Amino acid sequence: MDGKVFPGEGFVGVLGGVGPAATALFMDLLVRATDSDTDQGHINALVTQHAGVPDRTAHILNPAGSADPGPVLAADARFLEQAGAEFLVLPCNTAHHYSEAIESGVGIELVSIVAATAEAAREAAGPGGKVAIFATEGNINAGVYQDALDSLGVGHLVPDAATQAAVNELIYDQVKAGRPVDNELFLSALRTVSGQGADAVILGCTELSVIYDREGYRAENLARAARGLPFLVDSLSALVRATVARAGKPLRPGF
């Protein structure tokens, strides 16, 4: 015995709980995105729904006064590797600030939600296009998506203070708090960055992915873009597509 719970079965390890609703949605999307008509054709997954991971934004903005999520995420990664995971995914954009700490403690790959989303945004914006970044203040402050888009040569903009406050409200006061989503607030933020020249908007927080999926934006994305609003690039969907590809499974057409 090598200590693995399920040796040889090709499991993805999901570093979850950051946040819990986004992790649950990731697993739902993973099933929806895999083109299989049998249970056995889907992706094996081991999930740590570790809601107690310290707040990522709090630590980025105030590292001396907040608990460090890095060692906790690294410990979860080691647990998943030891249990039999062949690669890891992290369905949280801000937590990818700690990817170096995670990867340094394991011998398996961490598939990057940021890299997958930035590439999708480049394609959505088109040559010479500009991408707006909707994310937590921690993510924006750490330059997570700014750096990724710069590496691809993609122009980008971050929200002004009022728009960032709206994004914060959507993330923390609504989705994370389990309260109804103010869709007009979301649309107002989209109109603002559209007026600033954004051709696409990265939904760079997986709580925004919850809005995208559960409030009907997924189904209406192309139609909304045709009406002049930016195309929405959902980070959780980008990670799901990357996970399906890494697991060697077929992607369901249209996902």
The yes-or-no answer on residue 92 being catalytic is yes
Strand-pair category, 44-49 with 85-89? unpaired
| SS3 (DSSP) at 88 | strand
Does residue 243 contact residue 13 with C-beta atoms inside 8 Å? Answer: no
Residue by residue, DSSP assigns 14-63 as EEE-SSHHHHHHHHHHHHHHB--SSGGGS-EEEEEE-TTSPPHHHHHH-T
83 close to 5: Cβ distance less than 8 angstroms: yes
Amino acid symbol at 76? D
The two three-digit tokens of residue 223, written as one number: 């139609």
Give the CA dihedral 14, 178, 255, 77, nearest 10 degrees.
-10
Catalytic residue among 92, 116, 131, 200: 92
**The one catalytic residue among 29, 113, 144, 205:** 205
Closest-CA residue to 109 (of 217, 1, 246): 246
CA 63, CA 117: separation in Å to the nearest integer? 26
Cis ω before 65 (30° cut-off from 0): no
Active site residue 77: no
**Helix, strand, coil % over all residues of the chain, rounded to 5:** 55, 15, 30
> Which sequence positions are flagged as catalytic?
92, 205
